[in-house]
Amino acid sequence: MNEELYIGFENYLNNEMLPEEKLDFEQRLQNDPEFREYFRLYAETTRFLDTSFSPETAAFKENLKAISREHFGESLKKQPKVISFRPWQYAVAASITILFGTWFMMQSNDPEYNDFNQHEKAYFTERGSEDKSLKDAQDFFNSKEYQKAVVSFEKVAVLDTPELQYFYAIALIETNDFSKAAVVLNSIRQGNSIYKDKATWYLALSELKQHKTQECRSLLKQIPPDAEDFDKAQELLEDLD
């Protein structure tokens, strides 16, 4: 696990983040299952260390804070400070690294939603459009601010085209509103627009994000060979087998 991520976990647990940093961190916890699992393991491990190695663990955390200041606050102002670690501290750090490494190896062979959620850009408004909510929805979607995109989509008077419904559904999946996303995507599948097969692909990805493997497989098999996402669907099917 990289040092910056490790320090971020520690700063969050110690309530040492700026408000905007804390908001970004909590949004990632909500939307990124792998990140959330890393954090859970880290939090559980440090709780164990607090009870098993205190007060030494406190000294270890102080070293971690010093590293944080060195890398992200004071490194441009003065020469880097050398921080020495005692043998027991290497053992503590190694135990955490091994724990994360073991978990990662166990999980790495399984396909994850984040392996396939490279969304196309939304371009459904023209410059100077009078519909501010729609323009906001487009811009928030493209900047991956999906919660804000959902709010903007829902301010639009009528989401009356498959294109708008399609991007709205993706934003819903990204914010884990799976039931609402399924309603929208199934509606698109009933039509004959160019988004019909895309809707099936994203329904499959929604099931993947929820770790519903059988449902995901079933939907992937419904994507026809001439669909734009057919090759990706076959790749995911192979990974699931």
**DSSP for residue 125:** S
The structural domains of the chain, with segments of one domain joined by +, span 3-107, 113-240
Look at residue 54 in the predicted model and tell me its pLDDT. 47
Positive or negative, the Cα torsion across 115, 121, 124, 129? positive
Distance CA 172, CA 154 (A): 11
What pLDDT was estimated at residue 233? 96
What is the rounded CA–CA span in Å between residue 167 and residue 154?
12
Cα–Cα distance measured from residue 210 to residue 174, given in angstroms and rounded to the nearest whole number: 11
DSSP of 41-61: HHHHHHHHHHHHHTTHHHHHH
Task: Retrieve residue 84's tokens.
Answer: 């020495």
- What is the per-residue pLDDT for 153? 96
pLDDT < 50 stretches in the chain: 1, 52-54, 71-90, 92, 128
Instruction: List pLDDT tens digits, range 51-69.
Output: 544 455 555 555 555 555 5
Radius of gyration of the chain (CA): 22
At residue 120, what is the residue type? E
**Which of the 8 DSSP states describes residue 18?**
-
pLDDT of residue 126: 63
Is the whole model's pTM more than 0.95, yes or no?
Answer: no
Q: What is the pLDDT of residue 64?
A: 54
Number of helical (H) and strand (E) elements in the chain, helices listed first = 12, 0
Tell me how far apart the alpha carbons of residues 26 and 8 are, in angstroms, rounded to a whole number.
11
SS3 letters across 171-236: HHHHCCCHHHHHHHHHHHHCCCCCCHHHHHHHHHHHHHHCCCHHHHHHHHCCCCCCCCCHHHHHHH
- State the pLDDT at residue 127: 52
What dotted CATH number matches 113-240?
1.25.40.10
